[in-house]
Amino acid sequence: MAEAASDEALMLAYQAGAATAFDALYGRWRSRLFRYLRHQCGDAAVAEELYQDIWLRVIAARKSYEVAAKFSTWLFRIAHNRLVDHWRAMGRQAQEALASYDDHDEDCPNGLCIDPAASPDQMPERLLERRDLAERLVAAIGALPAAQREVFLLVEEGEMTLEEIANATGTGRETVKSRLRYALAKLRAELKELR
């Protein structure tokens, strides 16, 4: 019964006192949120710390929760803000990570940009080892600028639309779209080199 309910209904049920509703909600988003943080931070220990902190914020916001957006948008907005706080607290590394959020469509750091209009048909048709390729891809995701990586992760893990990502991160839809295209282009280029 709880699995059939929407995320928002589960959160409202938890607000009303149903602990099992939170269990179901947590089960839906635990892996996705953790991977988002894990790839964004690069450090497993930091990711776990942030992960716990984000869920505790969700729990603390139980009384004041209102369905103003999708639960995933709300959850990843909390995660995004917590990440920004974390980077600001880190100092030098934070400057690098935060600077990537100022990138515009014209940005092409590290000379990794390729033509965004490159067709997926240019992807390697045959991969020698799919798993090895997947590991390389994950490493390439880690090498993306933080803003582009975040958009990619929110699409993959949060299953969010461009509008929802823009809402969660406080940016414009076109900026989100541009970041995603650059991220995908870099990842495709990385995969192409592995062929």
Partner 1 sequence: MSDERDPSVSSLYRLGATDEPPATLDARILAAARRELVAVPVRQRPAWFGWLAPMGVAATVVLSISLIVVAERDQPDLLPAAAPVATPPVPAVRAPAAQAERSAPLPTPEPALAKKWDRSLVLPLAKPTAPVSGESRMRQEAAPAAEQSLRAIAPPAPAPAGAAAAPASALSAARPAAPAAKLELQRADSALRPPEIWLEEIRRLKNQGQLDALREQLAAFRRAYPDYPLPKDIEAYLPDLR
Give me the residues that bind partner 1 (CB under 8 A), please: 14-17, 19, 22-23, 26, 30-31, 34-35, 38-39, 44, 48, 51-52, 55-56, 59-60, 62-63, 120, 123, 130-131, 133-138, 141, 155-156, 159-162, 165, 177, 180-181, 184, 187-188, 191
Q: Which is nearer to partner 1, 52 or 95 (CB)?
A: 52
Q: Which is nearer to partner 1, 88 or 132 (CB)?
A: 132
* Least distance from partner 1 to the Cβ atom of residue 145, Å: 17
Q: Which is nearer to partner 1, 84 or 160 (CB)?
A: 160
Q: Which is nearer to partner 1, 97 or 183 (CB)?
A: 183
Q: Give the DSSP per-residue string, the chain.
A: -TTTS-HHHHHHHHHTT-HHHHHHHHHHHHHHHHHHHHHHH--HHHHHHHHHHHHHHHHHTTTT---SS-HHHHHHHHHHHHHHHHHHHHTHHHHHHHHGGG--TT--GGG----TT--GGGS-S--S-HHHHHHHHHHHHHHS-HHHHHHHHHHHTS---HHHHHHHHT--HHHHHHHHHHHHHHHHHHHHHT-
* Least distance from partner 1 to the Cβ atom of residue 6, Å: 16
Closest alpha carbon to 147 in 109, 115, 118: 109
* Least distance from partner 1 to the Cβ atom of residue 45, Å: 11
Q: Which is nearer to partner 1, 113 or 133 (CB)?
A: 133
* Least distance from partner 1 to the Cβ atom of residue 195, Å: 13
CA-CA distance, 162 to 167, in Å (whole number)?
Answer: 9
CA-CA distance, 174 to 56, in Å (whole number)?
Answer: 32
* Least distance from partner 1 to the Cβ atom of residue 95, Å: 26
Q: Which is nearer to partner 1, 95 or 163 (CB)?
A: 163
* Least distance from partner 1 to the Cβ atom of residue 76, Å: 14
